[in-house]
Amino acid sequence: MKLLVCVSKTPETTARIAFTNDNTAFDSSGVQYIMNPYDEWYALVRALELKEANGGTVTIINVGPAANDTIIRKGLAIGADEAIRVDAEPQSALYVARQIAEYARGEDFDIVFLGKESIDYNGAEVGAMVAELLELPFVSHATKLEMDGNKAMIVADIDGGDARLEVDTPFVISAAKGLAEQRIPNMRGIMMAKRKPLKVVEPAAAEDLAVSVRFQLPPEKGDVKLVDPENMDELVRLLHEEAKVI
């Protein structure tokens, strides 16, 4: 099977979120970056498991600048065979999707994997866009994927429930928690990753139709109001009369 996994780079989950240039840009000073957890823990690992069971190759692709090579190498260390980096500073989901589709078109991947969303801009958009550009079916928020020949049996999250779906390859799938278990790269994987191919390609021309212009931090919470643990009637009263939520 020929498998493609789209991986993005996001700030580490405990990173301090701040902005510069009059709140128009993300302040990356001192921020550690990681591979987006949905891409690393679930999408990539399930792709590797399918390769191990059925043979084939796993390629990872990232649209981003040279600084992203560290997370790409991590993907190779976890077990991907080769990597592509489209050398660009992505601004919007559609831009990223166009680059991925441009590369994937004609490569005949059986399955294109993505994460359900990136934890920085929380778009959950790129997967649907890649699928549309490649004219392929798309199943989002998959928590299970089993293959039988070219037929896939998928369980996907649908707001408050599960859908059991079937689709034939080729298709695009986005990974949610449950699809696989996180793998930690070992020393051998890290050594081998250094010799695996990481190809850098130029971006295709694409427009940014939606761009972020300003950021804002949520308003500071006032001090917490402590309620006597013996007096839960008081808490109920506050929720009813003051917060007006019950």
Partner 1 sequence: MVLVLAETQKGKFKKASLEAVTYGNKTAQVLGTDCAALVLGPASGLEELGKYGASKVYHVPDAGLDNFDSQVYAAVISQVAEKTGATVIVFSHSALGKSTAGRVAVRMNAGSVSGANTVPTLEGGAFKVTKGVFSGKAFAEYEIKSDIKVLSLMGNSIPVESSGGPAPVEELSVEVPAARVTVKSLERVEGTTPLPEAELVVSAGRGMKGPENWGIIEELAEVMGATTACSRPVADTGWRPHHEHVGQTGIAIRPNLYLAIGISGAIQHLAGVNNSKTIVVINKDPEAPFFKAADYGVVGDLFEVVPRLTEAMKKFKAEQG
Ligand X SMILES: Nc1ncnc2c1ncn2[C@@H]1O[C@H](COP(=O)(O)O)[C@@H](O)[C@H]1O
Ligand Y SMILES: Cc1cc2nc3c(=O)[nH]c(=O)nc-3n(C[C@H](O)[C@H](O)[C@H](O)COP(=O)(O)OP(=O)(O)OC[C@H]3O[C@@H](n4cnc5c(N)ncnc54)[C@H](O)[C@@H]3O)c2cc1C
Positions in the binding site for ligand Y (CB under 6 A): 13, 37
When asked if residue 123 is in the footprint of ligand X (CB under 6 A), the reply is: yes
Q: Which does 63 bind (CB under 5 to 8 A by kind): ligand X, partner 1, ligand Y, none?
A: ligand X
Mutual angle of helices 126-134 and 93-104, in 10-degree steps: 40
Query: Of residues 3, 58, 93, 173, which one binds ligand X by CB under 6 A?
Result: 93
| Rounded distance between C-alpha atoms, residue 120 and residue 151, angstroms | 33
When asked if residue 176 is in the footprint of ligand X (CB under 6 A), the reply is: no
Select from 101, 127, 107, 109 the least CA-distant residue to 42: 127
| Residue closer to ligand X, measured from CB, 7 or 139 | 7
When asked if residue 140 is in the footprint of ligand X (CB under 6 A), the reply is: no
| Count of beta carbons in the 10 Å neighbourhood of residue 24 | 11
Site string for partner 1, 198-237 (x = CB under 8 A): ----------xxxxxxxxxxx--xx-xxxx-xx-xx-xx-
Where do we find the tokens 């996180």? 182
| Residue closer to ligand X, measured from CB, 112 or 155 | 112
Long-range contacts at 241-244 (CB < 8 A, ≥ 24 apart): none
CB of 93 to ligand X, least distance (A): 5
Beta strands in 149-208 (DSSP E): 151-158, 161-168, 171-175, 198-201
**Interface positions with ligand X (CB under 6 A):** 6-8, 36, 38-39, 61-64, 90, 93, 96, 114-115, 117-118, 121, 123-127
